[in-house]
Structures are given as structure tokens and as C-alpha cells.
Structure 1
């Protein structure tokens, strides 16, 4: 009887379980089963994986506490790629919670997780659709509000402020928003004001978010951000209070360090007159072992303090020391070099040194960092200055020395070598550690030098002296065994090495060390560098003529130094009276005199007398209001920008009208030649092939700008079918910084980019995994909503076993892209593209759009996704595939 009961209960239990498994039957038992299973078997595990991914995002991002912290930590696409597997698992689990447990209370939550995954994977359109669906169909108000807040963040990302305002207004009318959602809403509002650069709104929104935050780590970060904002607005007392609060709640050590540092600055350091106390404070911070990874920051802050006291040299010295420290955050090195560049530019007016420091700074900034574009533009200008300044310095010295007697040349070479020896010994002395001297040190030290290490190989001065002595006696010799043998003779290092390598005995070869011979020139080499051929001297003079001219222009138009510009241009006219650049030099000097209230008539008369038919003379005799000096450059540059935008939009007639009007009103500005080539590009779009070719050939023969000539030649080679393997040229940016990008009638992209060698950005990797890319502009997005589904059908019919995946991505403001992947190599990707062009048909997809498709390797796609420059890659694609 007992056994029968047991079987009876077991049968009931099984029936109960089976009835609970139905995903459609709406009974209490069924709902309870699906609620429990959906929550703990699917949603919970999916949420855990997303939380883990979000933690990885935070760990991968390096906070820059020297700048105002962003409201949301940026998410790098490479970090998303590293977490692709976790996100895929989370998506699968969330989908199961929806498909298998449709009557549970966790369907809305699971939809939200899928929308969040789409957002992280940059499938923005899918994310927007999911969040909109939840707002309309969601039954859980908390989840619906979460979706709306995330939707607001996407609209802010896309700078769609009208849509963002609508969501803000909608949420403001919603009742019973949970505290957690209110906090996230205020943080997202802070992000809205941050992007719009509205500081008052940003501070107010962060204050509200702080009131609602229960997480200590989050609160510390919010306190710190608010403190930074108040400090920059001049509210030191409030900033000090918030810095102190940021240190509470056991935040990361870096945040504690910067909170303490900045709290002291606003409370004491900025106001203290006891400079010794301030310096001791920084010294104590530097000595603290906990701050070993932050010593570069300490020295940087101390340097800023010294610079405020007008201790320029001490500030520079501290910045140099800071640059040598091994810091925790590389971007700090960027700020150090940026400050050095600023000092040498503003305080010392040493534009050459400033250029080199900017070059160093840019190595530590990424293109997406705020300082990058400004510093890059300034670097372009200073690079022009530096190249021409160094050319003048070198060529002028060489020409002057070439005119001396042989004895005088030898004396100069000997003096130079002696100075180099002294310099190297001085540098060695700096590297020698100081020691307390004793009688034993004096007895053991080589040369009786008791200022450094006693053992020879620990004594940089002794080593350097030995190398110099060896160099004086034997010259440049390779470091090898048996070097005294007659067989070696006095051969040069290269010949000696070649002879040794030609034998079978390689045991005598010793790798050369970094010695004096790598930095100290020999007398014969110096004398050989002196030009003694009329052709060489003529070439040096041509370079000098160009550099005087270019230096004068950049100093006046870009660096606002008319006094220095005048000197170089006058030097040009005096030294090279027959120069072809003379009329433009006269005109530039005329503008300089006009801007400095000088004697403009002198150069106006010169132009009329010597060059009556020159366009420069015409411009002087018929001045247009605001057509001179930097105002003309600014107006012409603005018109160029507008003409280029019109060109990009396909409004060729309007673009051409603006170009022609600008050339008439401002005939001679730094963008004149760019306007001319843009006009030729329009001909390539609207005119005949013959006219386009003729204009390019004329432009190449008349234009003086070498970089623009290279660009025109690339365009011509594409037109004629003669592939030009030379890199597409960089146009030196003078008055503007925008690049010219064009796709001509043959469909090949041409790029005037900021990179000197565009071919180095993208690499041909035929055996790498490839992706097929289809570009969709905003006008086509709405018409092509079902395009991905049609492409999936195309894949099912033609590539049933290839497991191709189709996805969409909001790429930039102008374009969305559809991706098809993966293809194991370039050949298979190109085969797919060929079939796609011939066989794929869709009403919403014009043929021109299909033809703009291309394939790209995974490695190159990462570069493209960073640079956001489709035209640049299209040029590479056309040339390489």
C-alpha cells in the first residue's frame, strides 16, 4: 500500500511538472515555474555576464585625473571585441528567457539586456528599435524607464539633440521613477550637458545624481568630477570640500592621490606665500614610495607652480625630469611635452624647439583625445617653419664655409670636433654618480678623478675619455678581435666588416657597442661634406631661396610675427634679386606694412614698376575691402570649407560659384591652389574626360606646391589608367586644416589627408579574415529597413554552408554600414562582392550604392573604425584589390 502511494505521488508530481513546462498556458503554477526558471536559469546568468563585461570596460579604460572626468567612461571597440564571446553568450541566454518563458515576468528585462548588448556591439539601430519597443509594449515600468534612459544616451551619442530633448520631456512627465533610474537619468542628463558644453547644467545634474547614488566608488568619482568643475569655475571652497569627500569610501589610490593633491592646491598651495613650504610639500609627495608611479604628475604639478612664480628655467628643468619618469598613464607624458611646447612657443619664441616638443606630445595622444586636433594643426604650421629654418641654417653655413681656404676649413672642422668631445664629456659627467671621496677612491680611480665611480667600467667619464682617445689615434674602427693586424690596415668599418663576412671564420666578429664613433664625426667626413662643386652650391642656393620665402610667409600668415617675416623676405629680395618669387614677396611685404601701419607705397611702387602685369600688382591697385592680411586668409579659408562641403553633398554648381567668387575677391591666399584643384575635381564630376585631363596637366605644370602636384598626378594616373604607386600626397595645411577628399568619375577615392604616408595606415593582408562592407547614407536607411533580411535570404540561397552573418552599424553622422562576415581571405570576399554586384537585387538598393561596396581585412577595419574616413580606405581598396 505504501509503494502504491509513493508511485501515486510521483505520478502527480510528474504531471505537475509537465503542466508547468508549457510556455503558453497561463496558470498560477505555470507562471511560477516560468518566473523562477527565467530569472535564475537565463536572465540572471545573462545579467552576470553583462556585468562582467561592463567591469572589463572600466578596467580597460585609464582614467585621466588631470582632466575633468567624463560622465560615462568611453568604451573602446577593441575591448568590445575582446568580450565578444561573453556578449554572445549573454545574448543567447536572454533570448532563451524570451522564447522559452514568454509568460514570465522577465521578458521585458531580457529584451532590455539584448538592447544593451546591441548598444555595446555598435548595432545602434537595433538597440534603438528594442528600446522603443519596450517603451510601447513593456509591462514593467522600471524596465521601460531603463530603456528610455538608454535611448536618451544613444541620441546624445549621435548628437540628435531634438530627439534627446523629446525623450527628456517624456521622462519628466513619467510618475514613480525608481531611485536607481532617477540616478541614471540624472547621469545621462549630465552627459547631455557635457556634450553641449553647458557647465551649469552639468554641475546641477551631477549634484542630483550624487544625492541618489548609494555606491561608494561611484560617489567618490562624482565628488571628484564636481570638485574639478568647481575648481575651474573659481569656487575653491566648494572644490576643497568635494575633494575631501572624494577621498572617503575607499576609492582607488590614484583618485585619492589626485583628490589630496588638488585639495591642497585650492586650499593652500595657490594662496601660500611660503614658497619653501610649497616646494617641500611636492618634494615629500615625490619621495613617498606609494607615489612611485605618479612621480611624473608630482614633478609636472611642481613645474606648473614654478612657472606661476615666473621661474621659467626651473619649470623647464622639472618638466624634463617629469618626462623621464616612468608613469602609470602615458597621456601624462603628452601633457608634459605639450606644456614644454607652449613655453618654448610663448615664452622663448623658439618655434623650432616647440615643434619638436609637439611632435613628442602627439605620440602620447590618440586622435580621439581632446588636445590632438589642436596640437596636430599647430604642429603642421611649426613643421613648415622648422624645415625651412633648418635649411637656411645648414645651407647658409655650408655656402659660407665653402668660400674659405682649405686651412680655414680644417681649423673649423678641428674646432667642431673639439667642442663635440667637450659636450660628450660633459654629458658623461652628468651620468656619473656622485660619491664621497676617500684616500682609497683617489688611489683606485683612473686618471685621479674622484668625482665618480672608481672601477673603470662603472665610470662614464673614464669610458668616454678612453673612447675619445681611441678615436683620435685610430679613427672609426669596428669592435673586433686582432684589430691591430696589418691585414686590417686602415680600412673603413664597412669594408672591414665585408671582408670578414666573406670568410668562413665568423668567430672573430663581435657585435659593435654604442660608442663615441656613433656620435663623434671625423675630420675627413666633415671636410667631405663641404660643397666644392658649382652644381651643389647652386642647389643649396635654390633651397635657400625657397626657404627664405616660405619662412617669411609662415611667420606672417600663421605665426603672426610680421617683424620676423619682413626680415626673411627682405633677405630673399637682396640675396636673390632675379627670384621668380619676388613679386609675391613684394606683395607679402606690402601686406606686412599695411598691417603694421608701415610704408605700403614703397612695395606698391615696386610691383607697378617691375611687375605691372602681375596679379599681385592688380590686387594692390584694386584692393577689395577686407582682402588683405590675415582677414583675407580667414575669409578665403571659410569659403573653401563651405565649397568643399557643397562638393561633398554633390552640389557642384554652387560649389564652383563659391570657388570662382573667392578666387576673384581673394586672388592670393594660402588656399588659392587648393581652391583651384577643388575646381578641377568638380570638372571631373561634371565635365568631359578630355577637359578634366587637360586641366590636371596644366595644374601640374604651373603649381609650385609639391604636395598638391603629387595629388594631381595621382588623380591623373587614375584617369589615364596608369597606376601611380607613389603615396597620395599630404597637403601642407596653411590657412585651413580640413582635408580634401574626393571620389572622381572613375570611382577611385583620392585623399588629401593629415597622414604623410596613407599607404602605411592600411596593410594588404590577403590571407587575413575579411569583411564585406556596404555603405548606406541616411536617406536610404529608412527605405532599406528590410535590406539585411533580404541579404540573409540571398546568403541562404547562394551560400547555405558558409555561415555568413549580416549586421548593421551606425558608422558616423553621414553613413551607416552593413557588414557581411566572415570570409577566410581576400579572394573569397572579392568573389562574394562580384556575385553580390551581379545577382543581388533589392528595390531599396540603387546600383550606385551597390558599386560603392568594398571588402576589408579585420586589421584594416579596426583602423577604419578609428579614423572614420571611408574615402581614404576606398582609395586604398581601389589601388590594392
Structure 2
């Protein structure tokens, strides 16, 4: 009875333990359910603050710091250009730390998903936006930063988000919106960290816009907020570069000295010294000490490059070229300096020595190695286009003149001349192959990359400099060729090389025939010699048709060469003789009116008296160039008394046309056209003249007049009608044939 009573009203110990666990579970469930992420009670807020910080925010922050350390460690500075104030973002280069970025995004997102009432919410959003910015997911990054600015609770976090938003705008080159954000932040009470980051980001924005004076001033405002160290030394180096670009050498020197006072890396201190020397602000006697310093073994190329800059500045051009060649020769594993050295050599030959073919060769080499994202690449590529055309036109003139001379030779003498040219090329091939074999033999008993092999004698396939030079020379000589058998043979051989048989022997000629072991044969078989000679004969213009084609190429080359001198190279003194040669050799050239005009302008540019204006107005009074000369006033107003007078003249001539007095109408139209230059009915008179030419002079002059109108009046409202007339004329001509 007692036992039953006890069992009925009391619980056994094992059951009691289970009951206590059940009660504990109920209490925890009630407590946790009260810790909602939307609750503002102390206990839930403390719970979510704890979890948000240690399970999400700090982990995401550490992951981003790992990414930043990796970026700083792997970023390769290009000291030939102004260094970027902030390291550029490139998601492909951050691919090895993609996992850290992904984890940072994941952990930062947890705060927004589970801890909305946490005080770390804004900070986590900022980390999320920053990680997306590093991933170059700029759209989502901007949305996050804008959200923090709109919904955030702390002013400091709002300002931090806006600074990062400005940085994102800079990365996508939206400078207008970036400046709008900067202008808003300018009047905000920023804390020290945000003030520092604001100045750096705005300085970076102005640097990207090439507003170097503003950028340098903003950097000056940043330094009071920075501690000594490599980062500060780097920013002083950049400030010096920016002041150099704006011509403020004293301020540049002050910053270069500050580099040395901020615990710089060896490279930073080296380049601070180099930049001071380049500006002529440090004794050049330091060069010998720098060259003898063992720490500068891998930097000798930069030292010689700087020595060349100083010699060029003092107009000692041969010495500058000598130092630049030494710079290339002293290059070790880091080839970053080479394209900039080639660029300076090309610039010297182009701007000072006016040796355009040599300038082209160096620009070719520079572009082959210069990064396409470099600020100089686009400028160099544009200049190279004109140099390519210049060299091509010069080569055309040399080639066609040489081939025409060969065509006039006595057949027996020509045959002997071709045999001698083939023999010369064969000897050159043998000499080049022997030199290559000697270099290979020297390298055969030592490692191919051994540093004790002289730079100019390393096996070519292990020398990136020689590979680049070889590619450039090959393209210049042979053009772009597919890798295939017998790529040198017959028609594939360039006419420039074939024409060279009439000029001095050229070095670097490619082999035309090789033995089974790759060696150059001492002699050619009869079949090989005949094949080479036949290929040479095939390019010589013996027939009248071939001579006409050769002359047409010559005429076009002189015309293009003269325009390059005049417009691209700004050398009217060389354009004038080129155009005069064109007129002398091809007096019936179709571009004579334009050449007259260009000769007139070129002589005026040199303040030389000439008769080209009179010749243009006399021989081609109705050409567009004559009308250009006939214009008066700054707005191109007609020389007649006004639009009413122009209309009266047109009406009279049109009346003659309607009365079928065609010859007189044409004569008056050609006379009046110059007087109507700039009037509203100038193109209308020109169309009437075209119609009169067709009726008076026939089909061919009519077709030519139509072509001239289309060329001279590209914006005329009458152009569609004239094109219809041109199509009808072409159809009529085709029917007659």
C-alpha cells in the first residue's frame, strides 16, 4: 500500500532525470524563441551580437585581410609609369584566393540573414560589398554600399560605405558619379580613418583622370594621417612622380627624400634615387657607385636606362643610344624595363634624328612587349600605324625603281647580275648559320639558362629579348607567314627582297635552301639556282602592262609619302620635294589639284614664296581646292555680294541651260562656281555644272564630274540625286560596251 502510494505520487530517480531534461529543453526553447533577430530586448540583442561578431563578422574580416595581403604581395609595380595610388582590382589575379573571397561573402551574408538586430550588421554589409568589389561584381557592390548609406544606423559606417562606393565608381571609370559622392563627403564630419581613406580614394580618382596636380595635393593632405612604413613610403614616391608630371621639381624632391625617411623597401629607395637623378637633381657621379653595388645586379638595366635619359636630355644622342643598348643587354629575369627602353629609342629616332624606318623597328619591338593596358600602348600603336605606312611607301619606291632599272639592263648583264645576287645571299646565309652554330657550341656544355653566358651570346630560344627581336625582323622581312613547307619559295617571296638584288646586299636574309641536316649548302644545284632566278625574273616589269602597274604603284607611293610628311610627321620641308618629284615623274597624275594645294600650304607654312596657288587657280579653277583657296572671311562667306546675288547668277545660267545655250552656260557656270563658294546654293550650281558637262563634253567627263561632286560635297542634300545620276551613267556605259 505504501509502495503503491509512493509510486503513484513520487517519481523514480531515473524518471526524475528525464523529467528534468525535459523541463530544461522547454526553458531553452522558450528562451531561444525570445531571442528573435528582430527583438530589441537586451538578452536577444546580446545573443545576436555575440554570434554575429564571432561566427560571421570577424571571420569575414580576416578572409578579406588575407585577400588584401595576397594582393599586396603579388602585385608587381611598374616603375616606368606613375604608380597607382590604390592597387587596381583584377579578379583574374585574385583567382588563387577566390575561396577566401567566397567565404567572406558567405560569412558576411550570415549577419544579414540571421542577426538583423546585431550592431555588426552595417559592418558586415560593408565587408560584403567590399568582397563583391574585389570580385569585380561592381553592380551588386554598389547596391550594398547604397543600402548601408540609406539604412545604416552609424554615421561612420555610412561614410565608410560612401567612400567604397566612390572607389567602385572609379573602378568602372564613372568619374562624374564618383565626384558627386566626393562632394557630399567633403562637408561631412569624417573620423580619422575615413578622412584618410577619403583623401586616398579621391586622389586616386583624380590620378585616373590625369589631373595630377589635384591628386598630388590630396596626397599631401593624407600624410598627417599615416604612420611610417612601406605604404607611406610608396605614397611619397607616387606624390613625387605626380609633382614631376606637373613640373614642380622642388616638391618632387621633397617627397623622394621622404621616401627614405619612411622605412621603404630597397626597391622604393632605389627608385626614389633614380627619379631624383632623372630630373637632374642628384649628382650623376652616383651612377658608378650604384653600378658597383652588388644589391643592384638585377637593377643595372634601370640605371643604364636613366643614364640614357640624361644623355638624351643633353642632346648627346649617340651616347644615349649606347646606354640604352647596355640597358637591354643587362636585363636579367625581369624584362619589364625592355619595352620602355625600346620606346625611348624609337622616340629619339622619330622626334630628334628623324630616322623613321629605325624608329619603326624600335616601336615594333616596344609594342611586342608592352602591356596592352599600359597608358603608352595606344599612343605607340597609333604612331606605329603611320610609321608602318611610311616604311611601306619608301620600300615600294625603292622596290619599283630597282625593278624598273633591272628591266632596262642588257639581258646578258641582267643574268650575270642575278647570279651574283644569289651568290651573295648564299654567302650571307652561310655566315649567319656559322655564327649560330658557334653560339650553340658555346652553350652546349653548360646550362642553357646559366647566368655566366654573355647576354648577347645566349642560345636564342632561351633569350626572350632575342626571340622578340627575331620575330620583329622576320615580320619586317617576310610578312606574316603560315608555318608550312617551302614558305620561302617563288611567289611567296616578297618583292621587296627580290628587288634588293639591284641594291646593296642586306643582312639577316633568311635561308632559301638548306641541307638535310639544316646546314646551308656551299653551292646550289642547277635546278635550285634556276628556280630562284625564275622567281626573280617573274617580278621584273618587262612588259608595257607590267611597267604601267609599276608606275601606278610608284605614283601612289609618292603621293602617300608626301601626305605622311605633311600631316603625320609635320615636316613640310620633306613633303615639298616628295610632291615635286611626284609631279615631275607623273605630270598627268589624277591628284594634281590636291598636290598643288598641299604644295601651296607647305610653302606657306615655311614662309616661302611659291606659284602653286596661281597654278591651282589657273589650271583647276573649279576644283574643291581652288574653291578652298578662294574663300574669304573666317566663316567661308562667298566673294559675291550675298545670297541674293548668288541666286541671281544661278538664275541667269539656268536660263541659258533652258534656252539650250549649253556651251555658254557651262563656261559661265565654271567661272561663277568659285564666286559662289560658301553660299547656300553652291552645291546646286555644282550639280548644274555636272549636267552641262555631260551634255557638252560627253560621257567620260560627265562620270568624272559626278565622282568629283560626291567627293567635294559629302554632306549635300543633293547627294542622293547625284548618286542616282552616277548609277545611270555607269549603266549606260556598260550597255555601250
Q: Separation in 1 of the partners of 2:83 and 2:710?
A: 40
The residue aligned with 2:85 is: 71
Shift of 1:99: 1.0
> 1:310-349 residue pairs with structure 2 within 5 A?
310-324=315-329, 326=331, 331-349=336-354
Q: Separation in 2 of the partners of 1:431 and 1:253?
A: 41
Q: Separation in 2 of the partners of 1:324 and 1:96?
A: 56
The residue aligned with 1:202 is: 215
Pair 1:19-2:44 in alignment = no
Mean Cα deviation higher: 474-483 or 202-211: 474-483
The residue aligned with 1:99 is: 113
> 1:664-683 residue pairs with structure 2 within 5 A?
none
Q: Deviations over 1:9-49 (max 9, x none)?
A: 99658844872464334443322222122112222222233
Contact 1:62 1:329 survives alignment (8 Å): no
Shift of 1:541: 1.3
Shift of 1:147: 0.5
> 1:156-195 residue pairs with structure 2 within 5 A?
156-157=170-171, 163-175=177-189, 177-195=190-208
Shift of 1:254: 3.0
Equivalent position to 1:619, from 619, 628, 632? 628
Shift of 1:569: 1.1
The residue aligned with 2:647 is: none
Q: Helix, strand or coil: the match of 2:566?
A: helix
Equivalent position to 2:420, from 402, 405, 414? 414
* Consecutive unaligned residues in structure 2, runs of 5 or more: 1-11, 440-456, 458-510, 637-677, 687-707, 731-737
Equivalent position to 2:596, from 571, 586, 589? 586
Pair 1:379-2:392 in alignment = no
CA distance change for structure 1 residues 120 and 326 in 2, over 3 Å: closer, same or farther?
same
Pair 1:545-2:555 in alignment = yes
Q: Separation in 2 of the partners of 1:56 and 1:494?
A: 65
CA distance change for structure 1 residues 6 and 325 in 2, over 3 Å: closer, same or farther?
farther
Pair 1:284-2:296 in alignment = no
Q: Separation in 2 of the partners of 1:160 and 1:300?
A: 36
Pair 1:478-2:515 in alignment = yes
Pair 1:37-2:51 in alignment = yes
Shift of 1:345: 1.2
Shift of 1:264: 5.5
Q: Deviations over 1:739-783 (max 9, x none)?
A: xxxxxxxxxxxxxxxxxxxxxxxxxxxxxxxxxxxxxxxxxxxxx
Q: Separation in 2 of the partners of 1:225 and 1:76?
A: 21
Q: Helix, strand or coil: the match of 1:70?
A: coil
Q: Separation in 2 of the partners of 1:588 and 1:248?
A: 59
The residue aligned with 1:713 is: none
The residue aligned with 1:211 is: 224
Q: Separation in 2 of the partners of 1:389 and 1:549?
A: 11
Shift of 1:376: 2.4
Q: Deviations over 1:336-380 (max 9, x none)?
A: 122111111122111222223223222333444222232222222
Contact 2:513 2:520 survives alignment (8 Å): no
Contact 2:429 2:520 survives alignment (8 Å): no
Q: Separation in 2 of the partners of 1:284 and 1:431?
A: 34
Q: Separation in 2 of the partners of 1:30 and 1:120?
A: 34
> 1:260-299 residue pairs with structure 2 within 5 A?
260-263=273-276, 270=281, 272=283, 277-281=285-289, 283-284=291-292, 288=294, 290-299=295-304
Shift of 1:101: 1.3
Equivalent position to 1:557, from 559, 567, 572? 567
> 1:226-625 residue pairs with structure 2 within 5 A?
226-232=239-245, 239-247=252-260, 251-263=264-276, 270=281, 272=283, 277-281=285-289, 283-284=291-292, 288=294, 290-324=295-329, 326=331, 331-409=336-414, 410-411=416-417, 414=420, 418=424, 421=427, 476-480=513-517, 492=528, 529-600=539-610, 602-622=611-631, 625=634
Q: Separation in 2 of the partners of 1:678 and 1:611?
A: 20
Contact 1:108 1:143 survives alignment (8 Å): yes
Contact 2:163 2:201 survives alignment (8 Å): yes
CA distance change for structure 1 residues 422 and 363 in 2, over 3 Å: closer, same or farther?
closer
CA distance change for structure 1 residues 544 and 93 in 2, over 3 Å: closer, same or farther?
same
The residue aligned with 1:856 is: none
Q: Separation in 2 of the partners of 1:346 and 1:223?
A: 33
Contact 2:90 2:134 survives alignment (8 Å): no
RMSD: 4.7
CA distance change for structure 1 residues 24 and 415 in 2, over 3 Å: closer, same or farther?
closer
CA distance change for structure 1 residues 494 and 317 in 2, over 3 Å: closer, same or farther?
farther
Q: Separation in 1 of the partners of 2:385 and 2:149?
A: 50
Q: Separation in 2 of the partners of 1:389 and 1:588?
A: 20
CA distance change for structure 1 residues 233 and 674 in 2, over 3 Å: closer, same or farther?
farther
Q: Separation in 2 of the partners of 1:223 and 1:10?
A: 67
Q: Deviations over 1:116-143 (max 9, x none)?
A: 2343444444433322321232123332
CA distance change for structure 1 residues 280 and 295 in 2, over 3 Å: closer, same or farther?
closer
| TM-score normalized with structure 2 length | 0.67
Q: Separation in 1 of the partners of 2:334 and 2:725?
A: 48
Q: Separation in 2 of the partners of 1:121 and 1:692?
A: 56
Q: Separation in 1 of the partners of 2:152 and 2:570?
A: 62
CA distance change for structure 1 residues 230 and 162 in 2, over 3 Å: closer, same or farther?
closer
Q: Separation in 2 of the partners of 1:89 and 1:367?
A: 33
**Looking at CA atoms only, which structure, 1 or 2, has the larger radius of gyration?**
2
Pair 1:117-2:126 in alignment = no
Q: Separation in 2 of the partners of 1:311 and 1:557?
A: 28
Shift of 1:79: 3.4
Q: Helix, strand or coil: the match of 1:78?
A: coil
Shift of 1:217: 2.9
Contact 1:190 1:201 survives alignment (8 Å): yes
> 1:133-144 residue pairs with structure 2 within 5 A?
133-144=147-158
Mean Cα deviation higher: 210-219 or 382-391: 210-219
| TM-score normalized with structure 1 length | 0.57
CA distance change for structure 1 residues 299 and 524 in 2, over 3 Å: closer, same or farther?
farther
Shift of 1:243: 3.1
CA distance change for structure 1 residues 8 and 258 in 2, over 3 Å: closer, same or farther?
farther
CA distance change for structure 1 residues 525 and 159 in 2, over 3 Å: closer, same or farther?
closer
CA distance change for structure 1 residues 694 and 115 in 2, over 3 Å: closer, same or farther?
farther
Q: Separation in 1 of the partners of 2:202 and 2:436?
A: 55
CA distance change for structure 1 residues 387 and 422 in 2, over 3 Å: closer, same or farther?
closer
Q: Separation in 2 of the partners of 1:353 and 1:115?
A: 51
The residue aligned with 2:144 is: 130
CA distance change for structure 1 residues 323 and 71 in 2, over 3 Å: closer, same or farther?
same
Q: Separation in 1 of the partners of 2:122 and 2:724?
A: 63
Q: Separation in 2 of the partners of 1:431 and 1:249?
A: 53
> 1:776-855 residue pairs with structure 2 within 5 A?
none
Contact 1:556 1:562 survives alignment (8 Å): yes
**Structure with the larger helix share:** 2
The residue aligned with 1:653 is: none
Q: Separation in 2 of the partners of 1:14 and 1:42?
A: 28
Q: Separation in 2 of the partners of 1:312 and 1:125?
A: 51
